[in-house]
Amino acid sequence: MAAADVAESGSGDHKFLEYDGPRKGVKYPMRVLYCGECSMPVEYCEFYPNYEKCKEWLKSNIPEEFSRLMADKDEEEGKAGEEDGEKKKRQTRGGKGMMKAKKKTEPQGIKMWTATRGKKKKVTFVAGLASYEIDLKDACKFFATKFSCGSSVMGEDEIVIQGDVKDDLWDILPEKWKQIDEDDIDDKGDKK
């Protein structure tokens, strides 16, 4: 049913769809061809992740439909190629999109501070580990097991550790990661 076949009627919040009946020039009941590979109508095979297998199945089982679809596809790509100037690449399902390039930065030191959470609880913030090329997820997991508490990555270069563990971090950071010097660690005190 096409959008032209359906008209809205009614007023206010209550609208109803009206069907005008069958379209002229279309033979009913409609015959729909299904692909043996993806079990979808052949017009939708191009959206299947293994489109190449669908094309092989169509070519061997329904060659006339395959040639018609490929002719339509070539015609569409010709128009798109004229508009874009280049052929678009098809992204596979579950593939990664555009990856951000990471900037190489010089180590700028590690900053630590604590903040009050609730009335009596404290959390410790550690920032600057990423500039030493330390994986924040691995560091977060290390802190969670070392201090038997929760820790999580906040933002691009900040880790939150539950509890006041600032004093312990002075010894642990240079011991675990050799590229960190004790002089690089800066205590910012308590923040709100």
Give the percent of the chain with pLDDT over 90: 20
What CA–CA distance (Å, rounded) separates 160 from 89? 40
Place of tokens 């297998």: 53
- DSSP code of residue 20: -
What CA–CA distance (Å, rounded) separates 183 from 176? 15
Give the pLDDT confidence of 121-168 residue by residue, as tens digits.
Answer: 999 999 988 888 889 999 999 999 999 999 999 888 899 999 999 889
**Mean pLDDT, to the nearest integer, of 2-10?**
53
Residue 129 CB coordination number (10 Å): 22
What CA–CA distance (Å, rounded) separates 143 from 125? 12
Beta bridge partners of residue 28, listed in sequence order:
none
pLDDT at 142: 94
In this structure, of 29-33, 104-108, 139-143, the range with the lowest mean pLDDT score is: 104-108
In this structure, of 69-73, 95-99, 178-182, the range with the lowest mean pLDDT score is: 95-99
Determine if the pTM surpasses 0.85: no
pLDDT at 145: 94
Sheet (strand 158-162) strand order:
151-153, 158-162, 121-127, 110-117, 185-191
pLDDT at 141: 94
Which helix (H) or strand (E) segment holds residue 153: the answer is strand 151-153
